[in-house]
Chain A
Amino acid sequence: MESAGVKTADDTTADKEGAGPDVGARQSPRRSRLEPRSLVRPAVIAALVVFALLEIPSLFSLYYVDAWTQVAIYSIVTLGLGVLVGRVGLVSLGQGAVLALGAWVAARLLFATGLSYPIVLLGAGLITMVLGTLVGLPALRLSGLYLALITLMLAGAITVVLTTINFPNGGRGFTGYDGSTVHIPPIRRPSIATTDPAFFRYSMIVAILMFVLVFFHIRGRPGRAWAAIRQSESAALAAGINTTFYKLWAFALASFVTGVAGGLVAGSFRYLNSLTFTTQDSITLLAVVLMGGAYSLTGAVVAAFLLKFLQALLNDWGVSPDWLTILFGIGVLQVLTTAPRGIVEQFPKDMARLGRLIAGLFRRRAPAAEPAE
């Protein structure tokens, strides 16, 4: 969205140290990347983030502030799924269930302990990471289609378990569920963010931290290994990459951030039950990630916006959410057949094409003034 018109493809090359003396001649084109032009994108994003953080609570009604909270939280989920789908080429059809798992763990910790909220989020992330990775382990050595299928089944299985043991409602025991309770206490929120606007800001800051975490992964060694695995498993192995290990790493990272997001879901909904999460969620998540563009971090935000803001908007207008489901279905088919890189990259491309068309018109009139490309 906010990246419209700015190229997203050259993320990975920007930050490199100064060059050695023997390649002096080659430095200049790279140096130019650090010139103001390449700072435009981060600056615009930073400005938008700060603006959203400060102004959304005052610009929107409480209903829409809550919608934006959901966008912030679910952007973490789509971010995690985007890493799997876009960076490594692993399709998971079980992220909705992983999110539910994170929410369960967080709710349980919040009822059982007096731990501060950030610690609970971290705990939910780590426990979800371990559980999510363990179950996906056997499928990681198999081809992508098998992984997708096993994660779909995993989603079904987790849903069954969570439906059976129920979400914690302040009861005792391992499950923390007491079916006879009449007065159900709400799930605790962070003490600094008990109101909706404050919780929005809190969620957004957590989301920013998760984006930063993923950003450094992508820029670093795992990001390079993932790019190789995505392109070709054999090429990755030939480059010395332990493909199983790095796939596992991606899985763990995605499960971790999704678990953290689950912790935020618990605090944002305050009352959880098995109807909060459905198996269909996992598929809808994949749909919006593909539509938003799994290849860029901005795509994750777009995906969350499609998922949660549109939903709130349609609900406000009294339109059935089924239309959204239909739209997502059409979106998946459209993206897979014509624009595999999603809206985020398709839109600038269309704009660039338009630009070239206009430039072409001018060029024909004044052929002498042809710019060097």
Chain B
Amino acid sequence: MIEVSGLTVRFGGVTPLDGMDVKFEAGTCGLIGPNGAGKTTFFNVLSGFVRPATGTIEAFGENLLKMAHFRRARWGVRRTFQTEQAIEELSIYDNVAMVHEQSKGSSGSRREDTLASIEFVGIKSDPYAHVNTLGVGERRLVEVARAVVGQPKLVLLDEPAAGLPEEETEHLSNVIRKIPEHTGALTILVDHDMSLVSGCCETTAVLDFGKLISSGPTEQVLRDERVIRAYLGTEENV
């Protein structure tokens, strides 16, 4: 469980997060909002790339903001990026094993854990194939495999389905749905594809202008008037 309160981020005159209060309990949670609502900024705060002006984040009883960014991944914060960031020079196996060797997991189980994660996300290519020989869909899966290997506590997926064809989105959606039970991690999914969010997440939070405007069971949230208004107001951006 993570509890965020009063989180504010400022870049010069812009305030992408403005006193955000939110609680994510367990399972797969959605995080939606119009473009510029602060979703990616929130992920960047969780990963430690952006230092908030004020606010606290308590994750599984620990003060997340006190941890150095690279230590957070070792501790269990994992993420994927809007623009896919699988390491091209390395094989699928090395991509995933690298995360494992940096985290606390014992090196004895590295091989099994790595191959299990690759299996879990359903990559069909040879695990020793180079990432630069893969298509977009499988590269995305490599990133997800990196996020679930070892013992993640918090998996952050930033528009994982962007640019994927329908078939692959469906496969990805199946994978995302299984992450919490497979790893025990709390998973937060940011996406603009509402069918993906409602297919994967029991609960969803909605951000607009850096503030939480609604949260609860996904069905209910998507019918919320404030949410509809937020989206309609900036419809051309969605």
Direct A–B contact present (CB less than 8 angstroms): yes
A residues at B contact (CB < 8 Å): 9-10, 12-13, 16-17, 19-20, 22-23, 26, 29-30, 33, 221, 224-225, 227-228, 230-232, 234-235, 237-243
Residue from the list A10, A30, A221, A234 in contact with B85, Cβ < 8 A: A234
- In the bound complex, how far is the Cα of B69 from the Cα of A12, in angstroms? 27
Residue from the list A16, A224, A230 in contact with B98, Cβ < 8 A: A224
Size bin of chain B's contact surface: 35 or more
Set of chain B residues within 8 Å of A240, measured between Cβ atoms: 70-74, 99, 102-103
Asked if residues B85 and A224 are in contact (CB atoms below 8 Å), the reply is no
Q: Given contacts A13-B128, A241-B102, list 12 more A-B pairs with CB under 8 A.
A: A9-B130, A12-B94, A17-B111, A26-B115, A30-B126, A30-B128, A224-B97, A224-B101, A227-B90, A231-B89, A235-B85, A238-B78
Asked if residues A237 and B48 are in contact (CB atoms below 8 Å), the reply is yes
User: Smallest Cβ distance from A2 to chain B, in angstroms?
Assistant: 22
B residues at A contact (CB < 8 Å): 47-49, 69-74, 78-79, 81, 85, 87-91, 93-94, 97-99, 101-103, 111-112, 115-116, 119, 126-130, 132, 146
Residue from the list A12, A23, A237 in contact with B90, Cβ < 8 A: A12
Set of chain B residues within 8 Å of A242, measured between Cβ atoms: 70
Asked if residues B128 and A241 are in contact (CB atoms below 8 Å), the reply is no
- In the bound complex, how far is the Cα of B89 from the Cα of A239, in angstroms? 15
Given contacts A9-B130, A26-B127, are A238 and B79 in contact (CB under 8 A)? yes
Asked if residues B128 and A239 are in contact (CB atoms below 8 Å), the reply is no
User: Smallest Cβ distance from A215 to chain B, in angstroms?
Assistant: 15
- In the bound complex, how far is the Cα of B98 from the Cα of A243, in angstroms? 13
Residue from the list B49, B72, B81, B89 in contact with A12, Cβ < 8 A: B89
Residue from the list B89, B119, B128 in contact with A33, Cβ < 8 A: B128
- In the bound complex, how far is the Cα of B102 from the Cα of A170, in angstroms? 49
**8 closest residue pairs by CB, A with B:** A240-B73, A240-B102, A235-B85, A227-B89, A29-B126, A240-B74, A224-B98, A13-B91
Given contacts A13-B91, A30-B126, A241-B70, are A23 and B102 in contact (CB under 8 A)? no
- In the bound complex, how far is the Cα of B97 from the Cα of A237, in angstroms? 15
- In the bound complex, how far is the Cα of B88 from the Cα of A232, in angstroms? 10
Complex A-B: 7 CB contacts under 8 Å: A13-B128, A23-B127, A231-B85, A231-B88, A235-B81, A237-B69, A240-B72
Asked if residues B115 and A22 are in contact (CB atoms below 8 Å), the reply is yes
For B74, the closest partner residue in chain A by CB is: A240
Set of chain B residues within 8 Å of A30, measured between Cβ atoms: 126-128
Asked if residues A228 and B98 are in contact (CB atoms below 8 Å), the reply is yes
Asked if residues A238 and B73 are in contact (CB atoms below 8 Å), the reply is yes
Residue from the list B73, B112, B126, B132 in contact with A239, Cβ < 8 A: B73
Asked if residues A26 and B85 are in contact (CB atoms below 8 Å), the reply is no
- In the bound complex, how far is the Cα of B126 from the Cα of A235, in angstroms? 23
Asked if residues A29 and B128 are in contact (CB atoms below 8 Å), the reply is yes
Asked if residues B115 and A231 are in contact (CB atoms below 8 Å), the reply is no
User: Smallest Cβ distance from B207 to chain A, in angstroms?
Assistant: 21
